[in-house]
Structure 1
Amino acid sequence: MPAYFSDQSLRFLHNLSRHNERDWFHAHRADYETHVREPFQRLLADLQPDLAAVSLQFRADPRPVGGSLFRIHRDTRYAHDKSPYKRWQGAKLFHARHREVPTPSWYIHLQPGENFLAAGIWHPETPVLRRIRQFLVDNPQGWRRAAHDPALQRRWRLSEDEMLVRVPRGYPEDFEFRDDLRRRNFVIVRALDDATMTGPRLRQTIARELAATAPFMDYLCAALDLEF
């Protein structure tokens, strides 16, 4: 089976990080389309049956606009860094209701030496965060199976970005998973090396990981009263 991405895909993103300028990007836009965006769109299209086998509520949408693929352009309006382009390409496998309410998602990240898969909900607003924390307190055994299964933890790790210093007020200090109550993001991450991202079995790898992380995503959906 042919690979989706290649060394040229990674080389383009590496060069973009060194020449993050509009003139350079426009001069090399054909390389971006051929080696990054179009392969990503093919991957998303091919993942549709794999994702449907895990959940009928999530979408892998290959459309160039309004689909799963994030724009390569950065929003620099409020950023100190005015570089016009991201140094990576990412795509989100989103819930059917993602435009209506906060939802978890799967994420695929292509970046030389920093590729990864992620699953969960990133930066939820405070009311959503409270719902997840309370659901965790009320359903600790389900959380154990969803997030702390040894087979899952061999390949995935819970993100520790932006952890609170202590358990939030109102939650039990002696709770079995008190460290998880300190989370600002309920996300699990798995790194992928460049050889996997450019290899012929990338789709199979992602499909396997979608299935492996389904209990985690199902748990978050249940916490937010979403169908999985």
Structure 2
Amino acid sequence: MGRRYFTPRFFEFFEELSRNNNRDWFARNQPRYEREVREPMLAFIADFGPRLRKISPRYVADPRPTGGSMMRIYRNLRFSRDKTPYHTNAAAAFSHRDGKHFDSPSFYLSLSPAEAFAGVGVWHPQADSVARIRDAIVARPAKWKSAVNDRKFKSRFELAGDMLSRPPKGYDASHPLIEDLKRKDFIGGTQFTRMEVCSAEFMNLFSSACASAAPFMKFLTEALGLKW
């Protein structure tokens, strides 16, 4: 039997935080955050490491409390109209050891009262990275098609993200994969239920979802000049 990492108390913390998203409440509840949210998430990240290495030895699950795979709970308020100080989800990104953190492919997990979400791919990449991925699709169309149409991947993930309304400059508008070339994000997403997240099977469920995305992630990783 697997290990249970997350309990209903994990989600209750965020339900209460969303009603009390201020520094005073968080200061009073910080020990609870560390016990019910941060520790379980860091334990999950640590135990996911060996499974991630089987998918690709170059992707990293780093369980350090700061600077590792777990994202900070503090929101960056500089450019945001929403001045609430805390995220109302716990998230982790598992990135390539040689990649720039947000501009290379990642396996991603976000848990909140609203949804439990796993994502794979590159979200909001910079223009040169988008161009490299589009060029790879044009150069290796059969490989791209087999990655996105892979039976396991397709049964689990849905491609998502922003699209251009017209074909990108410099690409043939009649290209058979023009809809994919119009993508600005190259991501797949899948959902879990809260019951699944709180079960002893969640590590297996998340790991097998990530494994099913291996062909898609391999294509993107190599398109960006990184080793799979």
On whether the aligned pair clears a TM of 0.5, the verdict is: yes
Alignment of 1:39-50 (within 5 A): 39-50=40-51
Partner Cα separation in structure 1 for residue 47 and residue 36 of structure 2: 17
Segments of structure 2 that go 5 or more residues without pairing to the other structure are none
Correspondence 1:68-217 to 2 at 5 A = 68-99=69-100, 102-159=103-160, 161-217=161-217
| Count of aligned residue pairs for this structure pair | 227
Once the two structures are superposed, what CA deviation does each residue of 1:24-74 show, in whole Å capped at 9, x if it has no partner?
Answer: 111111111111110000001101110111111010000001100000000
State the secondary structure of the residue aligned to 1:158: strand
- Measure how far apart 1:148 and its partner are: 2.2
Distance between the aligned counterparts of 1:66 and 1:138, measured in 2?
36
| Partner Cα separation in structure 1 for residue 42 and residue 172 of structure 2 | 45
TM-score normalized by the length of structure 1: 0.96
Offset at residue 102 of structure 1 (A)? 3.5
SS at match of 2:156: coil
In 1, Cα distance between equivalents of 2:101 and 2:33 = 32
Structure 1 runs of 4+ with >6 Å offset: none
- State the Cα deviation string for residues 156-191 of structure 1 (Å, max 9, x = none): 0001x3211111121122222211111111011111
Mapped to 1, the partners of 2:78 and 2:103 lie a distance apart of: 24
Offset at residue 99 of structure 1 (A): 4.0
Contact 1:113–1:194 under 8 Å retained in 2: no
Q: Sequence identity, in percent? A: 35
Structure 1, unaligned runs of 5 or more: none
Contact 1:5 1:197 (8 Å CA) reproduced: yes
Aligned-residue offset at 1:208? 0.7
Given that residues 113 and 193 in structure 1 are in contact (C-alpha distance below 8 angstroms), is that contact kept between their aligned partners in structure 2? Answer: no
- CA–CA separation in structure 2 for the residues paired with 1:69 and 1:78: 22
Aligned equivalents of 1:2, 1:125: Cα separation in 2: 38
